[in-house]
Structure 1
Amino acid sequence: MQLKYLQTIADAQEYDCKVVGLAWSPNNQKLAVATIDRQVVLYDEKGEKRDRFSTKPFDPEAGKKSYIITGIAFSPDSTKIAVAQSDCIVYVYKIGEKWGEKKAICNKFPQPSPVTCIIWLLTGPIICGLVDGKVRALQIKSNKSQSLFASDSLVVSLAPNSKGTGFLSGHIDGNIIRFYLTNDHNEDEAQGRIVVHSAPPYALAWPQGYIFVGGCDKRVAVFNNNGKLVKNFDYSRDNDEYEFTVAVCSPSGQAVVMGSFDRIRLYNYNTRRSLWEETAPKEIKNFYTITALAWKKDGSKVTCGGLCGAVFMFETVLKRTIWKDKFEITYVGPSQVLVKPLDTNERGVILRSQHGGEIEDVRIMGKDCYLVARTEETLLVADLSRNLLSEVPWSNSLRHEKFYFENPNVCLVFNAGELTLIEYGDNDILCSVRTEFANPHLISVRLNERNPASENKKLAYLLDLKTICIVDLVNGYMIAQISHDSKIDWLELNETGHHLLFRDKKQRLLLVDTVTQSKQTIFTGVSFVQWIENSDVAVAQSGNTLAIWYNIDLPENPTLMAIKGDVTDVIRNNSKTEAICVDGNNTFSVELDEGLVEFGTALNDNDFSRAILFLENMENSSEAEVMWHTLYVIAMKQQNLTLADRCSSALGDVATSHFLRETMQTAQKFIEKYNENPNNSPDVWARLSILYGELATAENIYLEQGNIDAALEMYKKLHKWDEAIRLAEQRNHEKLDELKQERMTLLVQSGQFEKIGQILEGEGKYEEALTMYVKSNKLLRIPKLLEKEPSLLEDHSAIANVLKSLVKQELFEAAAEVYEKLDKPDLAMECYRKGNWN
């Protein structure tokens, strides 16, 4: 890498006009320059002056010249600037996203002593060093400061790591202290003092794995992360060299620029030799002392400020290539590449290897929307339109891979019978499977589409020509393996991954439920099939017939339309869903029922108001009833009682609607009493269990609350008297006798004499039970009762009436059993003969 002069941003003055701070915004659009006259000047990325603002003293009575700016830093979102001042304060100015927006102080952080240096970490807090040796963290959200650590020596420099999770502080006594704000660092990188330099470390930088230190001893020392000296660039014998005053690290961590007097030195990391190398120094005559340095976040430019107010911009480029007159590919470091389109004003993509490998073989693919690059040990893929970059470990495969970009969320890489899935924006391989079929029509991937409540990632692919495998990519196990009797030539999961459509060589279209693994043929002679975007609606063509499954859960009832030509695509946008047809040289569209598609989409998006509005405008039909029922099931799963009430009313289920409204009243009382979510109400839980028919669950809920009366009342309202008395007996309830009497009264009033007889029989009151059986005319129970209690045979009058009734109703076998118990075999045999018993 070399430093190439680009332009002068600010001219030098004839007097001391020191540039006290430089900072590039993380979005690469703004450069802030702080001057000795307490001004902050803003430039755009081309170096044109666009704005400026004056800073304010901590104490207005002290006067505007009572302080100087000691450092500036941009916020991670590029909308704020932190300004450190010598009058013991840090101001944070909100400058906005666009040029010309009003500047306002949004945070003030008074400090116990003057501030000497400042940085703003990517993880959020501002870090400042003080004259008294303290290093403090400033929290924007809480507007509070806290001391991270203290030393007895003035802080002269701060240097962040590339991740923004930690920093180094340099002190005037030569100590260099490392501090992390998160726990994701290497355990070998201990916190605390790691280096004691021979001079105050005014020039301090923290590239990946190393520490650069420079000072008034005219040496540049390079230490590893353990504090061991690994390289020493000694210029003490060079009479033209002066002390090093400032240092800055490249965003990739593979280059460091050190500033001194009339000179900038650049150090590059040789990834092949694993050592730091110095390039030829950049001489800047009459620039005098370099007082500030800043490296643009995309790695393409370095700016330096001097003692007399001059600000120069340098380009830091290894090489630059043009890809097919469409993209400019700029190598700004061994492991960092800037890719920008030539025909638009888009900012492009910063391609950076997180492992520090040297990037090579950058290619633009997939209709110029995707990028593929390599290092020796990794593979990089990027979605250029969404600026999503992935870097995954990759072995040397002789570069025979085939890349498929049909899926907008994942890149399919096929090599030597192995299919690898790389999700854009994720640095881990999503999945690798063995398959010989690399056709994108035989692979379907769905990743968290339609905003699922939990992670939902699924893959369907061919194990062989007749077998489909469906894999859960979140948990890494196989969901289903579907075998078929014919070769499969197309497959696709729906967006939720709950259904799979596939077509075989016989042009049969089959639907698979991935949960139950059930499979059924839903159409034949299929030449075209597709899921409609953002819905669970499927479309298929067979001859001149177009079939639409607006409700895929009822695959036997598709909507059929007559069409001409061949369907080539189904497009959904601008509240319209159209099938594109080609008939000879003519292309036309067939509009589908967007309302039915909309209902399914509304459900999947949990937009129930939109779903109800659609159904209310729909005529009463079997399809509407199915949709209302579907909406009711979803409402009950989510315990949305208001929605469930509306659905049950539409379905004509008055009882359920009334019960739900009573439940909502119970929930409202709970809210008024406890001011909590009604889903936390035990009474609501119990009532919903009753609605589901889970009475045992409802009983347990009431009993856990110590409310046995509510459980008994529940059984009474549902006429479950046996359960009510069973519970009262278990708990030895004081109203047990009252419950039994209440049950008997109700049974007598309703004429349920057989039930009364059963109860009396269970209580051992056999004579009364016999009377009730006779009264209820349920005579077949009597023989068993007599068998259980033979003493009843002594009541000759009652037995005679029973026998008379049995014979009259031609229940001869039952009469024969009674005669047997009376020891009258002749009469018993006569009854058996009359009953044709053999």
Structure 2
Amino acid sequence: MAWSANSGRFAVCTAERVVLLYDEHGERRDKFSTKPADAKYGRKSYVVKGMAFSPDSTKIAIGQTDNIVYVYRIGEEWGDKKVICNKFIQMSAVTCLLWPAENTIVFGLAEGKVRLANTKNNKSSTIYGTDSYVVSLASNVSGKGILSGHADGTIVRFFFDDEGSGESQGKLVMHPCPPYALAWALNSIVAAGCDKKIVAYGKEGNVIQTFDYSRDSSEKEFTTAAASPGGQAVVIGSYDRLRVLNWSPRRGAWEEAKPKEIPHLYTITSLAWKRDGSRICAGTLCGGVEQFDCCLRRSIYKNKFEMTYVGPSQVIVKNLSTGTRVVLKSHYGYEIDEVKILGKDRYLVAHTSDTLLLGDINSNKLSEVAWQGSGGNEKFFFDNENVCMIFNAGELTLVEYGSNDILGSVRTEFVNPHLVSVRINERQQRGVEENKRLAYLIDIKTIATVDLVGNYSVGTVSHDSKIDWLELNETGHKLLFRDKKMRVRPAVLAIRFYLGWTVEHRIAE
């Protein structure tokens, strides 16, 4: 089973090697049959062992035991023609499969190799090889690292990009049994198998916790596991039962929730977590698929929005009138406090212990910036569609929607948004890629202008009367302001270039 990256499609491959496609509400919308590597051996000559959607949700990769990986283009709309666009022939059976990044499919083989298939050049290559059958694959939250579990109990780690973590690659753990249930969570690696023990390993393979059910006669072997998209929960499937582990940031440990027991469900053969974290599906030995809602809590905001907390660091905000959704998530794994919707019900604001999350619901541009708690005394202004203006303790901070870095910060006591003007790439200029400028009041009679790209002062404008309104033009090179006597004054901020040196000129009034 597999969920698409955009959470709009859910695919299930049956024992008859037919892929059924469902929408996010569970309604079947399409299907197609998989193909054998060699038609002369017939359609019943293989078993599908792995399936994954492409990051753009328009393709599905299928790993088969007849030594081949097929990639099917399924299109963007229901009913689009299904076409094989890539095929990768191997030397042994494909046993498991992931699609963590664009053009990059990772799969394990019965001979012990972990290989990479490039859909762009239609070639496959070996990432690393072992002498033991690959029983499971898992990727980290970002998709830039993979784990492989092997029949001899070995767990191997590989990074396409370690993202500055400095964590080691290669053989990481020797698990007591084949780790058929393997998940890479945010803070640890969780593995389980036929010994009826769930073990959480640290970043360098040290044992953090062990959950031992070997003396529980009702428990059977663990067959599959899945980590939530945020990496803060892991579900492990066995016989008639789903066990759930939740990461507690305060304790720095895994806490077991009450298991979900379903009589006559039989062995759970596959798990797939929806990419927004709101649902998990469990496939069973007898051909059933069970779908479960996943949330810590759910609330209605202003009778207009539904807030679903699917994890400590992830909230789904749904507009009840339009049905549109935004997934607000802390990329650092911090626990999200209350989410507020401000600025005419368009903008999201949420705090964590160390960051501030902001978002534009209309454009789906989300930001998370480093932010030290100030007791909720900030004042937010949403007059500009590109930038959120935050006033706090005599400081103005600018955050551009969609960026995870603070755009700029200046000291000012004037918190009226009519006394601040920000322009962000509003008109294309020849030879200028980025044009971001700010005008604000230093004091009641002095305007300062700052280039936010280079973080330098463009100039100042002094006036003989109190200023009560100002505005930059689209390029940020002209300024219009008004004083208390209702007099409107223009100012031009001109820049000339001499042999690479920048000379700033100001022409006022």
Q: For residue 498 of structure 2, what is the aligned residue in structure 1?
A: none
Equivalent residue runs for 1:315-354 within 5 Å: 315-346=293-324, 348-354=325-331
Say whether residues 1:34 and 2:13 are aligned partners.
Answer: yes
**Residue identity in the other structure for 2:415:** A
Q: For residue 115 of structure 2, what is the aligned residue in structure 1?
A: 136
1:779-838: CA deviation from partner (whole Å, max 9, x where unpaired): xxxxxxxxxxxxxxxxxxxxxxxxxxxxxxxxxxxxxxxxxxxxxxxxxxxxxxxxxxxx
The question of whether the paired residues in 2 share the 8 Å contact of 1:422 and 1:431 is answered with yes
Hey, what's the Cα distance between the residues in 1 that align with 2:156 and 2:247?
23
Hey, what's the Cα distance between the residues in 2 that align with 1:508 and 1:423?
29
Say whether residues 1:355 and 2:332 are aligned partners.
Answer: yes
User: SS of the residue aligned with 1:517?
Assistant: strand
Hey, what's the Cα distance between the residues in 2 that align with 1:389 and 1:226?
32
Hey, what's the Cα distance between the residues in 1 that align with 2:18 and 2:335?
41
TM-score, L = length of structure 2: 0.96
**Residue identity in the other structure for 1:239:** S
Q: For residue 378 of structure 1, what is the aligned residue in structure 2?
A: 355
Displacement of 1:296 in angstroms is 0.4
**Residue identity in the other structure for 1:517:** H
User: SS of the residue aligned with 2:124?
Assistant: strand
Hey, what's the Cα distance between the residues in 2 that align with 1:451 and 1:108?
44
Gapped regions of structure 2 (runs ≥ 5): 496-503
Q: For residue 438 of structure 1, what is the aligned residue in structure 2?
A: 415
Hey, what's the Cα distance between the residues in 1 that align with 2:428 and 2:193?
54
Q: For residue 510 of structure 1, what is the aligned residue in structure 2?
A: 490
Hey, what's the Cα distance between the residues in 2 that align with 1:149 and 1:109?
17
The question of whether the paired residues in 1 share the 8 Å contact of 2:438 and 2:450 is answered with yes
Q: For residue 265 of structure 1, what is the aligned residue in structure 2?
A: 243
Say whether residues 1:208 and 2:186 are aligned partners.
Answer: yes
The question of whether the paired residues in 2 share the 8 Å contact of 1:245 and 1:260 is answered with yes
The question of whether the paired residues in 1 share the 8 Å contact of 2:480 and 2:488 is answered with no
Hey, what's the Cα distance between the residues in 1 that align with 2:102 and 2:73?
19
Displacement of 1:123 in angstroms is 4.7
Write 1 or 2 for the structure with the bigger share of strand: 2
Say whether residues 1:519 and 2:507 are aligned partners.
Answer: yes
Identify the match of residue 439 of structure 2 among 455, 460, 478: 460
1:32-55: CA deviation from partner (whole Å, max 9, x where unpaired): 001111110011111111111000
Hey, what's the Cα distance between the residues in 2 that align with 1:450 and 1:237?
70
The question of whether the paired residues in 2 share the 8 Å contact of 1:510 and 1:519 is answered with no
**Residue identity in the other structure for 2:463:** H
Equivalent residue runs for 1:27-176 within 5 Å: 27-176=6-155
The question of whether the paired residues in 2 share the 8 Å contact of 1:376 and 1:396 is answered with yes
Q: For residue 398 of structure 1, what is the aligned residue in structure 2?
A: 375
- CA pair 469-429 structure 1, distance change in 2 beyond 3 A: same
Identify the match of residue 413 of structure 1 among 381, 385, 390: 390
**Residue identity in the other structure for 1:302:** I
Q: For residue 278 of structure 2, what is the aligned residue in structure 1?
A: 300
Please say which of residues 492-501 and 252-261 is displaced more in the overlay. 492-501
The question of whether the paired residues in 1 share the 8 Å contact of 2:104 and 2:118 is answered with yes
Name the % identity: 57
Q: For residue 231 of structure 2, what is the aligned residue in structure 1?
A: 253
The question of whether the paired residues in 1 share the 8 Å contact of 2:458 and 2:493 is answered with no
The question of whether the paired residues in 2 share the 8 Å contact of 1:479 and 1:514 is answered with no
User: SS of the residue aligned with 2:269?
Assistant: strand
Hey, what's the Cα distance between the residues in 1 that align with 2:374 and 2:208?
35
Say whether residues 1:180 and 2:180 are aligned partners.
Answer: no
Hey, what's the Cα distance between the residues in 2 that align with 1:395 and 1:131?
51
Displacement of 1:203 in angstroms is 0.4
- CA pair 224-101 structure 1, distance change in 2 beyond 3 A: same
Q: For residue 242 of structure 1, what is the aligned residue in structure 2?
A: 220
User: SS of the residue aligned with 1:360?
Assistant: coil
Displacement of 1:122 in angstroms is 3.2
Displacement of 1:496 in angstroms is 1.5
User: SS of the residue aligned with 2:40?
Assistant: helix
The question of whether the paired residues in 1 share the 8 Å contact of 2:469 and 2:482 is answered with yes
The question of whether the paired residues in 2 share the 8 Å contact of 1:497 and 1:514 is answered with no
Equivalent residue runs for 1:183-202 within 5 Å: 183-187=162-166, 189-202=167-180
Hey, what's the Cα distance between the residues in 2 that align with 1:298 and 1:107?
28
User: SS of the residue aligned with 2:418?
Assistant: helix
1:181-200: CA deviation from partner (whole Å, max 9, x where unpaired): 1252411x111111110000
Displacement of 1:295 in angstroms is 0.5
TM-score, L = length of structure 1: 0.59
User: SS of the residue aligned with 2:177?
Assistant: coil
- CA pair 451-162 structure 1, distance change in 2 beyond 3 A: farther
- CA pair 258-183 structure 1, distance change in 2 beyond 3 A: closer
Q: For residue 499 of structure 2, what is the aligned residue in structure 1?
A: none
Please say which of residues 250-259 and 352-361 is displaced more in the overlay. 352-361
Hey, what's the Cα distance between the residues in 1 that align with 2:32 and 2:423?
50
1:85-123: CA deviation from partner (whole Å, max 9, x where unpaired): 000100000111111111111111111211000000035
Equivalent residue runs for 1:418-817 within 5 Å: 418-452=395-429, 453-506=432-485, 507-515=487-495, 516-521=504-509
User: SS of the residue aligned with 1:61?
Assistant: helix
- CA pair 456-210 structure 1, distance change in 2 beyond 3 A: same
Hey, what's the Cα distance between the residues in 2 that align with 1:116 and 1:451?
52
User: SS of the residue aligned with 1:367?
Assistant: coil
Q: For residue 288 of structure 1, what is the aligned residue in structure 2?
A: 266
Q: CA RMSD in A?
A: 1.1
Please say which of residues 54-63 and 451-460 is displaced more in the overlay. 451-460
Say whether residues 1:233 and 2:211 are aligned partners.
Answer: yes
**Residue identity in the other structure for 2:505:** Q
Hey, what's the Cα distance between the residues in 1 that align with 2:294 and 2:237?
15
Hey, what's the Cα distance between the residues in 1 that align with 2:12 and 2:82?
16
The question of whether the paired residues in 2 share the 8 Å contact of 1:449 and 1:495 is answered with yes
The question of whether the paired residues in 1 share the 8 Å contact of 2:304 and 2:320 is answered with yes
1:108-146: CA deviation from partner (whole Å, max 9, x where unpaired): 111121100000003541100001111111111111111
**Residue identity in the other structure for 1:254:** Q
Write 1 or 2 for the structure with the bigger share of helix: 1
**Residue identity in the other structure for 2:168:** A
The question of whether the paired residues in 2 share the 8 Å contact of 1:480 and 1:514 is answered with no
**Residue identity in the other structure for 1:260:** S
Displacement of 1:450 in angstroms is 2.6
Hey, what's the Cα distance between the residues in 2 that align with 1:344 and 1:366?
18
The question of whether the paired residues in 1 share the 8 Å contact of 2:54 and 2:61 is answered with yes
The question of whether the paired residues in 2 share the 8 Å contact of 1:482 and 1:517 is answered with no
The question of whether the paired residues in 1 share the 8 Å contact of 2:435 and 2:475 is answered with yes
User: SS of the residue aligned with 1:470?
Assistant: strand
Question: Size of the alignment, in residue pairs?
Answer: 498
The question of whether the paired residues in 2 share the 8 Å contact of 1:34 and 1:71 is answered with no
User: SS of the residue aligned with 1:317?
Assistant: coil
Hey, what's the Cα distance between the residues in 2 that align with 1:455 and 1:469?
20
The question of whether the paired residues in 2 share the 8 Å contact of 1:500 and 1:514 is answered with no
The question of whether the paired residues in 2 share the 8 Å contact of 1:122 and 1:163 is answered with no
Displacement of 1:508 in angstroms is 2.9
Hey, what's the Cα distance between the residues in 2 that align with 1:176 and 1:413?
47
1:213-254: CA deviation from partner (whole Å, max 9, x where unpaired): 001110000011111101100111111111111000001110
Q: For residue 800 of structure 1, what is the aligned residue in structure 2?
A: none
1:743-800: CA deviation from partner (whole Å, max 9, x where unpaired): xxxxxxxxxxxxxxxxxxxxxxxxxxxxxxxxxxxxxxxxxxxxxxxxxxxxxxxxxx
User: SS of the residue aligned with 1:264?
Assistant: strand
Hey, what's the Cα distance between the residues in 2 that align with 1:254 and 1:297?
13
Please say which of residues 470-479 and 222-231 is displaced more in the overlay. 470-479
